[in-house]
Amino acid sequence: MKPPLALLAELTHRCPLRCPYCSNPVELTRASAELTTEEWARVFDEAAAIGCLQVHLSGGEPTARRDIVEITAAAHSAGLYTNLITAGVLLDAPLLARLKAAGLDHVQLSVQDAEPAGAERIGGMKGAHARKEAAARVVVEAGLPLTLNAVVHRQNLHNLPLLIETALAWGAARLEVAHVQYYGWALINRDALLPTRGQLDEATRVVVAAREAHRGRLVIDYVVPDYHAARPKACMGGWGNAFLAVSPAGRVLPCHAAESISGMVFPNVRDTSLRAAWEESEAFNRFRGTDWMPEPCRGCERAERDWGGCRCQAFALTGDAAATDPACALSPHHALLAAALAEAGTAGFRYREFG
């Protein structure tokens, strides 16, 4: 069994933004149930011991935690490359200086749109875009590498060229153009977010052209949506294959959306070790490898390339996490994607919220 490459540490579900595509579960964890500083330090030590190389400090908004500097120091002390995934609205120069001194290696900053009005409508927070720009400035001035993460969808794809220009203007070395993946809050808002095929094709053209135009200056990663696909992606590199996440309440997950699969029981770092969770737990072994696969996945030449696609998506669309991912044209459920596309429009958002 290979060790996990990366750990996603979801420190909190608290966040000033209310993004309608948030990857957090619909049932959000309260602050009183979050792991303590000391518990996170133990998680980082255990992650390094089983072979993890990097940790992504995420949320919610990780800087909403008052102990974010101590948590960062613990991750650095464990020997992990430490990336802060942040909305930036709480990140100022004094805090960043403390984080850098604690050992922070990299910052990934999310943007909701290229224009302030669109960004604030999508994120549900006034003044957020200006705060993000200020945060990008202090990251670059501090000499830390900066990645911009732009989650794109029906409501902002028209501004993709401007998002690329924003990444250049703000000094990012990398831009992630990530189409929304539909589970959790995004599934609730699917009708408002699903792009048309025309939008997708134009976005792909824009990305290809920008990669060539800005070669050597800006790396552009591109994550396409499954709803227009004929074959699924290797979600997270395969279930329990290269990645693990720990939720704010300590649940150890094969991917950050795995809690959306109702009925599965996941181990918790409060009563088991990370090694035991990774190597021995029923949850991690349930969809590992290829033995679990139904037809037509079983024996498919792509089985060890896409690992059956996304289990969370299969559950969201069919009610069965073991079903063939409907993103595959060979799936008996593939028509569900076409039906969803036909229903998509410009419905209003249900914003992410507690309660």
Q: Which residues fall in the annotated binding site for [4Fe-4S] cluster?
A: 15, 19, 22
Closest CA to 86 of 104, 107, 66: 107
- The backbone region for 59, taken as left when phi is positive above 0, alpha when psi lies in -120 to 50, beta otherwise, is beta
**Per the annotation, where are the binding residues?**
15, 19, 22
Residues for the chain: how many in total? Answer: 355
Amino acid at 50: I
> Residue 23, Cα to own-chain centre: how many angstroms?
6
